[in-house]
Amino acid sequence: MDLGISGRRAVVCASSRGLGKACALALAEAGVSLVINGRDPDVLRETAEHIRDASGVEVTPVAADISTPEGQAALLAACPEPDILVNNNSGPPFRDFRALDRPALLAGVTMNMVTPIELIQKVIDPMAANGFGRIINITSIGVKMPLTGLDLSSGARAGLTAFVAGVARSVAHRNVTINNLLPGYFDTDRLRAGFAASAKRTGDSEDEIAAQWEASVPAKRFGDVSEFGRMCAFLCSAHAGYVTGQNILMDGGLYAGTL
């Protein structure tokens, strides 16, 4: 399917690896030029080269911490008026909630709620003026169900979800959409970090923990990041203009809910 976005411009945050990289690659395959982002310059450069070689589109790497004003300014200097914004960021590590002091709490909320809101503030009016905009927030299945040890991440992302619900409705008439993608267990470095944390807490091996988590998913497998990236690309497409303010769960059936 032609997604109808060839020649558009996208900023994809935290996209040097994992889910962000998969979203960037899928958009590139649709002909979208990219500004990609990460904190490790070497990994980011390798990702940029990989996407360029795979797609032939223009890819601009920006090494920066997007939770800082300086990092956000660097991203938007590279692409002042993106047509597409994919908000993604690392989250707080697995940790018992009792161990979270005030600085840790504030840092988590800044990473996973405040930062995406700030970026949306900066890009939404030009999108509306141009009559096209697609904003995707990568949140988490934790918005809908508890994930032990990720309480701060889940809480901050739930706050973002509530915040943008009204914002999405305010710009829908200008062909600007805001949707949230909620990943379940995708095979990423962050998921593997969860195995390590659980193994340390329970005494089971990481392989045993991985097998337990995989067995808990009705699909009986972890998600492939390419599946996530393609869903992101579709929501950014010209065909998805009537989808906005939605929380789209990709979890292999893990969340056992009717709605």
Q: What is the CATH number of the domain that holds 33?
A: 3.40.50.720
Q: Specify burial of residue 202 (Cβ count, 10 A radius: 0-12, 13-18, 19+).
A: exposed
Residue range 157-180: mean pLDDT, rounded? 98
Q: Report the pLDDT value the prediction gives residue 51, as an integer from 0 to 100.
A: 98
Which range of residues forms the domain containing residue 207?
187-222
Q: Report the pLDDT value the prediction gives residue 198, as an integer from 0 to 100.
A: 85
Q: Is 112 found in the same domain as 78?
A: yes
Q: Report the pLDDT value the prediction gives residue 218, as an integer from 0 to 100.
A: 98
pTM value is 0.95
Sequence-distant (≥ 6) Cβ neighbours of residue 157 within 8 angstroms: 91, 112, 113, 139, 140, 142, 143
CA distances, 154 to each of 44, 83, 158, 180, 216 (Å)? 27, 28, 6, 13, 20
Is residue 167 in some structural domain? yes
Q: Report the pLDDT value the prediction gives residue 201, as an integer from 0 to 100.
A: 85
The secondary structure of residue 95, as a DSSP letter, is -
Within 13 Å of residue 133, how many CA atoms lie on the same side as its CB?
Answer: 26
Q: Is 42 found in the same domain as 97?
A: yes
pLDDT tens-digit map of 18-63: 999 999 999 999 999 999 999 999 999 999 999 999 999 999 999 9
Is residue 257 in some structural domain? no
Q: State the total domains in the chain.
A: 2
Q: Is 175 found in the same domain as 96?
A: yes
**What CA–CA distance (Å, rounded) separates 243 from 204?**
43
Is residue 179 in some structural domain? yes
Is residue 63 in some structural domain? yes
